[in-house]
Amino acid sequence: MKANTKDRIKVLLFIAPFVLLVTFVVYAKFAPKKTIATTFNNIELLDKNNKEESAKLVKWKRRYAYKIQDKDSYYLTLFLYQQTQDNYIEEQYSINKNLYDQLVIDEKYNIKVKYAKDEKTPASLGYVYDFVKSD
């Protein structure tokens, strides 16, 4: 009777990881794709040609952004200060025309961005889906 229980335990210990692995692979392949969202706070929207204002914000290590229109495409380019590396990174997000027209230069916003993860959109490409005027 004891040998029978030991055999059952051995079988469970060998089969359980295999079943978990197969489950994980099937879920990764057929599960619905997810979207990741984030919010960037206190982004000051500047005119792209206003170099002295952007130089001030770089000196103060503040976040800022530019509105960019390229034919029928609209983008928001964010400049985010990285404290760990002591430099700025530039990130570009697509935005629809309606939101683009609502953004006002020299105002501060909390900008909400989604990163789509599907076959049509690369994981790194995000889009602005909402914004709120910051105080």
Q: State pLDDT tens for residues 60-89.
A: 999 999 999 988 889 999 999 988 888 889
Give dist(CA 108, CA 88) in Å, integer. Answer: 18
Kindly give the confidence (pLDDT) of every residue in the chain, 135 residues in length, as a single tens digit, with 9 standing for 90 and above.
566 888 888 888 889 899 999 998 988 888 777 778 889 999 999 999 989 998 998 899 999 999 999 888 899 999 999 888 888 899 899 898 999 999 999 999 999 998 876 555 554 578 888 888 887
| Cβ atoms within 10 Å of 7's Cβ, excluding its own | 10
Considering the entire predicted model, what is its pTM? 0.69
